[in-house]
Amino acid sequence: MPAVSKGDGMRGLAVFISDIRNCKSKEAEIKRINKELANIRSKFKGDKALDGYSKKKYVCKLLFIFLLGHDIDFGHMEAVNLLSSNRYTEKQIGYLFISVLVNSNSELIRLINNAIKNDLASRNPTFMGLALHCIANVGSREMAEAFAGEIPKILVAGDTMDSVKQSAALCLLRLYRTSPDLVPMGDWTSRVVHLLNDQHLGVVTAATSLITTLAQKNPEEFKTSVSLAVSRLSRIVTSASTDLQDYTYYFVPAPWLSVKLLRLLQCYPPPDPAVRGRLTECLETILNKAQEPPKSKKVQHSNAKNAVLFEAISLIIHHDSEPNLLVRACNQLGQFLQHRETNLRYLALESMCTLASSEFSHEAVKTHIETVINALKTERDVSVRQRAVDLLYAMCDRSNAQQIVAEMLSYLETADYSIREEIVLKVAILAEKYAVDYTWYVDTILNLIRIAGDYVSEEVWYRVIQIVINRDDVQGYAAKTVFEALQAPACHENLVKVGGYILGEFGNLIAGDPRSSPLIQFNLLHSKFHLCSVPTRALLLSTYIKFVNLFPEVKATIQDVLRSDSQLKNADVELQQRAVEYLRLSTVASTDILATVLEEMPPFPERESSILAKLKKKKGPSTVTDLEETKRERSVDVNGGPEPAPASTSAASTPSPSADLLGLGAAPPAPTGPPPASSGGLLVDVFSDSASAAAPLAPGSEDNFARFVCKNNGVLFENQLLQIGLKSEFRQNLGRMFIFYGNKTSTQFLNFTPTLICADDLQANILTKPVDPTVDGGAQVQQVVNIECVSDFTEAPVLNIQFRYGGTFQNVSVKLPITLNKFFQPTEMASQDFFQRWKQLSNPQQEVQNIFKAKHPMDTEITKAKIIGFGSALLEEVDPNPANFVGAGIIHTKTTQIGCLLRLEPNLQAQMYRLTLRTSKDTVSQRLCELLSEQF
């Protein structure tokens, strides 16, 4: 960097900062700032031309004032003038001011771009560096349009200095992340790969970051980088710490570059045999170095060393092709399981979860089962205990299933409330998947309900009933076991549901024992009746009518119960209807009709376990699906065959749990459990995919939609898998929207299909460009949507995204924020013109008024920003009451233009607003009032 000449200390700036710091109150600070702003303004407007030093000093003061939180509305031109200076310090301050204060819509952007082009063409490395930093800091689409074609040429030019190459690579990376469609692929892509061989490691580090991001989207363009990355990695890991002195961090040579190279290699499958041999040597060297005694006791040394090690293990797991390396990696991670550093234990457990899915290392992972169980019992950190549960789940197979399930059940009694539901789901899945003795399965699930009944979801007890009904050899044992469990003084309601269902179907199998006679079974269930919720009572009533068919000797007792006022006059319509229908059925139906209507449930069709589907939804498929897919061949499900693929049954065909079972009348819908009497399976898997229907709107979609009414850019939707970002621009009746779909996982999205669903009344032409059906892990794809507003409209279109992730169908729907106010053009007008126009729009149909309670704090500046963001001009000093807000604008459509005036009157004392809108069209007034009212 050029030496700072005498006088660049800017004493005036130092004095001003000192004055601000010495201010005793906010008022004193504002007074001093206003005085300084007036002085600077007079200097800039004065007749006397300012020299470069003075401009720099005053621009610096403005920048400091802005950073204190005050608005700056002048000085931009002086900052742009500094860019043409030949002095480094003046040019630096100019670029700094522009990076912080100038937005992409500024009228000065063309002048700024010209100054940047001049600096990039100057071949002065210092000036080029400043220009590149400014482009990266601003990172706007306009910057990308202007320089995305120029920067790659600088990057691969032979005479570019190393420091400029670094800045160029990182600048291009920034532009690619913000506007990937504007960065052209061309001849430079093959040349940029060779930067991995550059002698300057700083250039290699920057180039690796750029190539990794580009390779995720365009793997074929950069596949030659694999051999070069392996070569460079080999040189680093085999070098002594003294060989790379400038890039050695606490005795670890170039740790950041090593990690980046290892991540780059994870974008590709295992390389050719020749390159693979060299890569294997590198990975073995990294594993060997991890065994060596530390060269320093400082934590920075171990952090750098372990960062490289864990990234190497991630690459070994990604390739999943070298049994020796996988086992060595597992053993190395096993040593970390008892390390005193909590973060290392956490990372080791997390990595071993993935290793457990490999056929080569699964057995090696199982050898650490005792250590993992001990971690489950003794760890203080709940996140580490959660990873231990995940690892036990991943390493489970037929040989250790009973031990792991027993340990999980034992831990469940004292587990943190935040992870109990997840443990319950995993125990239920493992017990079902690896059950050889089905009596053990029944015992396990009932024990699970006893220990953590509040966390046992409906899917769990649905599934145990499915399996008992499908297995003749376990039905008698299940009836006997639930009967004994129900005799406990306190039973969880889920146990009552299971007991009611199973005894209603198979109570006859234990009725021969005097200790479990039909009357005793009925009295035992009915003793729990008054303690249960409405859905459980509905299920028990269905059990009672089953008893009438199974045990005629208790028919009179059950009829008395059904005939009681507490049933026939029950306040709940579902219970009342069941009691009336069941009593009538038991009275008028013959024995044969009863036997037909109330026959035993048929076996359920097999499909993907709904418990597994529930766990996928709760945890994110990456933690379950990958392990299940790879382990599927090693195991069979509880019904003796490989677990079937998910059924593509539409949710619309799933019978409602409260559907009328007997056909005696239409039962109103209620959230009851599945009654035992039905001619079809009610416990169908409600989590099966429907590839044809669009999903309902995602949770929180409406809130996110409302937030976009007054803004155009941001994140519209985000979950564990997918992030949807928006960047929009509207001009008159035309709009362009860029939708960014980001894959937050490390696994590809397949058959990725976004679809726009438009309401019938949407008076707009919407054209969408198709997107790539495959979205790589960690990658982002962009879709461009062009919009033309034909006439005013009410309903916004719905964006439906369907894709497959890890074999699982995903279906997401969100409202796309294309609203009528987006086609607003602000209109400035004087007070007299405003009220003249206001009177002209006096027709009752043209005015809509809404008085509503404030939903957010009544902040004046935020209110102004929202009105401006809504699209109208904010008219100052128009309303006689200065506390009121007045706006004006024109809605542009293809067929007409609609003038709009608005007035917002806040009442701070009552925390209320009155919003009045007048437009030349009544439907427009109504819609704009609805949209704007939701913002305050």
Res 311: pLDDT: 93
Q: What angle do CA 402, 408, 411 make, to 5 degrees?
A: 140
Q: Which of 192, 183, 276 is nearest to 234 (CA)?
A: 276
Res 671: pLDDT: 36
Decide if 100 contacts 66 (C-beta within 8 A).
Answer: yes
Residue 131 CA to residue 30 CA, distance in Å, equals: 34
What contacts 24+ positions apart, CB below 8 Å, involve 881-890? 881/905, 883/908, 886/834, 887/826, 888/826, 888/827, 888/828, 888/829, 888/834, 888/837, 889/824, 889/825, 889/826, 889/827, 890/824, 890/825, 890/827
Tens of pLDDT, residue by residue over 805-817, are 877 788 888 888 8
Take residue 564 and report the two structure tokens written for it.
């009681």
Where does 4-114 show beta strands of DSSP type E? none
Residue 580 labelled as part of a binding site: no
Task: Return the axis-axis angle of helices 610-619 and 458-470, rounded to nearest 10°.
Answer: 160
Residues 841-861, mean pLDDT to the nearest whole number:
83
State how far Cα 47 lies from the chain centre.
57
Decide if 309 contacts 332 (C-beta within 8 A).
Answer: yes
Higher-confidence residue of 132 and 746: namely 132
Confidence of residue 616 (pLDDT cuts 50, 70, 90): low
* Residue 416 CB-density burial (10 A; 0-12 exposed, 13-18 middle, 19+ buried): exposed
Q: Is the pLDDT of residue 501 over 60?
A: yes
Give me the torsion for CA of 673, 679, 681, 686, rounded to 10°: -70
Residues 688-709, mean pLDDT to the nearest whole number:
67
Look at the block and give the residue holding tokens 């700024």.
112
C-beta neighbour count of 433 within 10 angstroms: 23
Per-position b or e across 255-286, b if 16+ CB within 10 A of its CB: bbbbbbbbbbbbbbebbeeebbeebbebbbbb
Decide if 538 contacts 578 (C-beta within 8 A).
Answer: yes
Tens of pLDDT, residue by residue over 104-135, are 666 778 888 889 999 989 888 999 999 999 99
Least confident of 302-306, 602-606, 883-887: 602-606
Tens of pLDDT, residue by residue over 441-451, are 899 988 888 88
The amino acid present at 794, given as its one-letter code, is T
Least confident of 486-495, 686-695, 764-773: 686-695
Residue 346 labelled as part of a binding site: no
Q: Is the pLDDT of residue 548 over 80?
A: yes
Residue 887 CA to residue 868 CA, distance in Å, equals: 8
Confidence of residue 686 (pLDDT cuts 50, 70, 90): very low
Residue 673 CA to residue 655 CA, distance in Å, equals: 12
Residues 742-755, mean pLDDT to the nearest whole number:
85
Residue 60 labelled as part of a binding site: yes
Decide if 382 contacts 414 (C-beta within 8 A).
Answer: no
Higher-confidence residue of 269 and 807: namely 269
Res 760: pLDDT: 60
Res 451: pLDDT: 86
DSSP output for 788-825: EE-S---PPPEEEEEEEETTEEEEEEEE----GGGGEE
Res 259: pLDDT: 94
Residue 369 CA to residue 403 CA, distance in Å, equals: 10
Confidence of residue 312 (pLDDT cuts 50, 70, 90): very high
Residue 631 labelled as part of a binding site: no
Residues 6 or more apart whose Cβ sits within 8 Å of residue 716: 704, 705, 708, 724, 725, 726, 814, 816, 817
Res 862: pLDDT: 81
Higher-confidence residue of 641 and 190: namely 190
Res 588: pLDDT: 86
Tens of pLDDT, residue by residue over 51-107, are 888 888 899 999 999 998 988 888 888 888 898 888 898 899 999 998 888 776 667
Q: Is the pLDDT of residue 879 over 70?
A: yes
887: enclosing H helix or E strand: strand 885-892
Q: Is the pLDDT of residue 208 over 90?
A: yes
Res 614: pLDDT: 66
Percent of the chain with pLDDT over 70: 88
Residue 537 labelled as part of a binding site: no
Residue 53 labelled as part of a binding site: yes
Residues 777-800, mean pLDDT to the nearest whole number:
85
Confidence of residue 160 (pLDDT cuts 50, 70, 90): confident
Residues 894-915, mean pLDDT to the nearest whole number:
87
Residues 897-926, mean pLDDT to the nearest whole number:
87
Residue 711 labelled as part of a binding site: no
Decide if 826 contacts 872 (C-beta within 8 A).
Answer: yes
Q: Is the pLDDT of residue 723 over 50?
A: yes
State how far Cα 150 lies from the chain centre.
35
Which CA distances in Å does 343 have to 60, 308, 336, 350?
43, 15, 10, 11
Least confident of 157-171, 470-484, 758-772: 758-772
Least confident of 52-66, 524-538, 754-768: 754-768
What contacts 24+ positions apart, CB below 8 Å, involve 251-255? 251/295, 251/296, 251/301, 252/301, 252/304, 252/305, 252/308, 254/201, 254/205, 255/304, 255/305, 255/307, 255/308
Please tell me which of 149-153, 459-463, 609-613, 701-705 the model is most confident about, judged by mean pLDDT.
Answer: 149-153
What 3-state DSSP class applies to 594?
Answer: helix
Residues 318-346, mean pLDDT to the nearest whole number:
88
Residue 167 CA to residue 147 CA, distance in Å, equals: 14
Residue 491 labelled as part of a binding site: no
Tens of pLDDT, residue by residue over 235-254, are 888 877 666 778 888 888 88
Q: Is the pLDDT of residue 156 over 50?
A: yes
Res 24: pLDDT: 92
Res 30: pLDDT: 92
Residue 205 CA to residue 128 CA, distance in Å, equals: 19
Residue 59 labelled as part of a binding site: yes
* Residue 799 CB-density burial (10 A; 0-12 exposed, 13-18 middle, 19+ buried): buried
Q: What are the two backbone dihedrals, phi and then psi, of residue 871, each rounded to the nearest 5 degrees?
A: 125, -15
Residue 495 CA to residue 720 CA, distance in Å, equals: 33
Q: Is 616 left (phi over 0), alpha (psi -120 to 50) or beta?
A: alpha
Least confident of 642-646, 680-684, 794-798, 875-879: 680-684
Tens of pLDDT, residue by residue over 554-567, are 989 999 999 888 88
Q: Is the pLDDT of residue 682 over 50?
A: no
Higher-confidence residue of 628 and 194: namely 194
Res 9: pLDDT: 67
Residues 220-249, mean pLDDT to the nearest whole number:
84
DSSP output for 215-276: HHH-GGGGTTHHHHHHHHHHHHHTS-TTTTGGGEETTEESHHHHHHHHHHHTTS----HHHH
Looking at every residue in the chain, the average pLDDT score rounds to: 82
